[in-house]
Structure 1
């Protein structure tokens, strides 16, 4: 026959069991904690999507704009070899007349403009251009009549002798200028450079002459 414990006995046994269980638990906790501290924790792989990296506080400089490809340059021309031979020269400026005042004899009509330039530089112009052109043309006709005899009848007071024993041939006035005589408005002198051949056909250019003119009743006439 089995004897059952009394109710208070059960309670006592239950309390002892709980005390023993608590003591065992308290003794086991420090050891577990030391083991946990000695063993590094292994991170558990996460199935979640990894977070985006945090951006730095320093702003990233904007991307430089795409550079345009440089335009294709025209290839430099290669220097062509110069052709052998005498170098080409620009037209040279015509030299001034010789120091004597008259260009070299024998230039012909091509040298007349050089003589004209020389005469223009001798004295400054003091007559209106139209008047000067008129006096030069008049003196040219007078001098041709003087040297060749042709047209002397036009100025009978100037050419008292219409005959000419030894006339010149091939007479040409190369250059001429007209200037006032001593500042007088009614008197002028025309200085000429002329060319021609004498009785012996000795042609010569650069000859000098002058024709004096006077203004009378608005008409210019030659005077001696």
Structure 2
């Protein structure tokens, strides 16, 4: 016959059995724990991201219309103002006889000379022409003023001295052959001088005829 255990013995056995049962329970559920842990690690939100509605195209508000650079207006060119004092003096207009207008004084003599040079082509050597012009100038001054007539007594023998001129000046002169002859020439003169009234007149035409005698040119009538 078995003797029943004492009360503290039964309590000890009962406690051991409970501890054993708890241990077995813990050992039997490690997989469940790992699964629970894995489940808790996974986020609750769905992995699929719902398609977002298409965003409307952002419309850029129209900006101000492009500004164009204003056209550069080139200032109109104005004709430069002429200074009359800087402009060369215009040559006098030739008169009906081809001689420039009178009143220009010695400053217009070169224009008269150019007109005479263009009347007929030169037909004498330059040295001969200069000599004949100088000789005819002296003869004409003696003719109009009376001074120097003694140099050509035969030429002035029968020539009366009319009202003498003063301030006589030969403005221009050219020498040309007479009818193409080698021994005769005519010097055409344009001269200026003041008469008895004292009025100075220029642009006066005249001529002096010359002939070659013994290799010397002399005035002839």
TM-score tier after normalising by the smaller chain length? 0.5 to 0.7
1:162: Cα distance to partner? Answer: 7.2
- Normalising by structure 2, what TM-score? 0.59
Is 1:98 aligned to 2:94, yes or no? yes
Secondary structure of residue in 1 paired with 2:122: coil
- Judge conservation of contact 2:92–2:101 (CA < 8 Å) in 1: no
Q: Report if the CA contact (8 A) 1:132-1:178 is conserved.
A: yes
Aligned residue for 1:115?
Answer: 112
**TM-score w.r.t. length of structure 1:** 0.58
**Equivalent in 140, 147, 156 of residue 159 of structure 1:** 156
Find the aligned partners of 2:117 and 2:200 in 1 and give their Cα distance. Answer: 25
**Cα separation, partners in 2 of 1:93 and 1:126, compared to 1, 3 Å:** farther
Q: Secondary structure at the match of 2:138?
A: helix
Larger radius of gyration: 2
Could you tell me which residue of structure 2 aligns to residue 169 of structure 1? 166
Q: Which runs of 5+ in 1 are unaligned?
A: 1-81
Cα deviations by residue, 1:91-142 (Å, 9 ceiling, x for unpaired): 5584464242111111000000000000000000000000000000000000
- Give the equivalent residue in structure 2 for 1:76: none
Shift, 1:199, TM fit: 1.3
What does residue 222 of structure 1 align with? 219
Where does structure 1 differ by over 3 angstroms across 4 or more consecutive aligned residues? Answer: 87-97
Query: Which residue number corresponds to residue 193 of structure 1?
Result: 190
Corresponding residue of 2:81: 86
How many aligned residue pairs are there?
A: 143
1:130-149 mapped onto 2 (5 Å cutoff): 130-149=127-146
What's the CA shift string for 1:69-93, capped at 9, x where partnerless?
A: xxxxxxxxxxxxx9x9724687558
Partner SS state of residue 193, structure 1: strand
Distance 1:210 1:162, change over 3 A: closer
Query: CA offsets per residue over residues 4-26 of structure 1, 9 Å max, x none?
Result: xxxxxxxxxxxxxxxxxxxxxxx
Check the 8 A contact 2:190/2:204 in 1, yes or no: yes
